[in-house]
Chain A
Amino acid sequence: SQQGEEDPQALSIQEGENATMNCSYKTSINNLQWYRQNSGRGLVHLILIRSNEREKHSGRLRVTLDTSKKSSSLLITASRAADTASYFCATDLYGNKLVFGAGTILRVKS
């Protein structure tokens, strides 16, 4: 079974707009990670946020984590057509066993 749920399931925006994806999970975690997947191929690691962190930035990406609500959000600013992909959150309690959500499909229109 999958740990988390991403919201929305699909998102379509214009190039230059911001995209926000949310993730909820059910159990305690050690860290939460976001991944991108293009066209059903391998996943690319975007960012890792530990349970004692609340916010993390990497380039145009901003991730927040609220462990009291068991939720996280991924913000992509100034989106580009190349950001079109599926985005997954994954939780890690210990030992690098990642539990993934079903993902958000992002389409950025140029």
Chain B
Amino acid sequence: DAGVTQSPTHLIKTRGQQVTLRCSPKSGHDTVSWYQQALGQGPQFIFQYYEEEERQRGNFPDRFSGHQFPNYSSELNVNALLLGDSALYLCASSLGGGGYEQYFGPGTRLTVT
């Protein structure tokens, strides 16, 4: 049973560019959440997708957007990259409805220069 997978593993971008990160949830899960983790900090919730719609959103600007596909996989897009967007981006999958543990992928390390 495959767990949560994310691609790419590492990414280097320049300020102002756009980036797309991808996530495939654990088999049987229908909800995908994205988190940003800066160095030395705990993960911060970006948003959550369920039934192909954004269900919840954290305190992140509109430059951060996402999408969920019918097979429950998801993308995170970040436009107009800033140096401060450098972080580990984590995807987590879970069952819809809340109150369940989340399964995290290995993350994508994004470096903005």
Contact = CB atoms under 8 A, between A and B. Distances in A.
B102 A45 contact: yes
A81 interface: no
Interface residues of A, number: 27
Interface centre among B33, B94, B102, B105 (most CB of A within 10 A): B102
B42 A2 contact: yes
A42 B90 contact: yes
Interface residues of B, number: 31
Interface centre among A33, A43, A44, A88 (most CB of B within 10 A): A43
B90 A96 contact: no
A41 B6 CA distance: 12
Given A42-B90, A96-B98, A102 B41 contact: yes
A41 B31 contact: no
Given A40-B88, A42-B90, A42-B104, A94 B45 contact: no
Contacts of A30: 98-99
Interface in B42-91: 42-45, 48, 55-56, 58-59, 88, 90
A101 B44 CA distance: 9
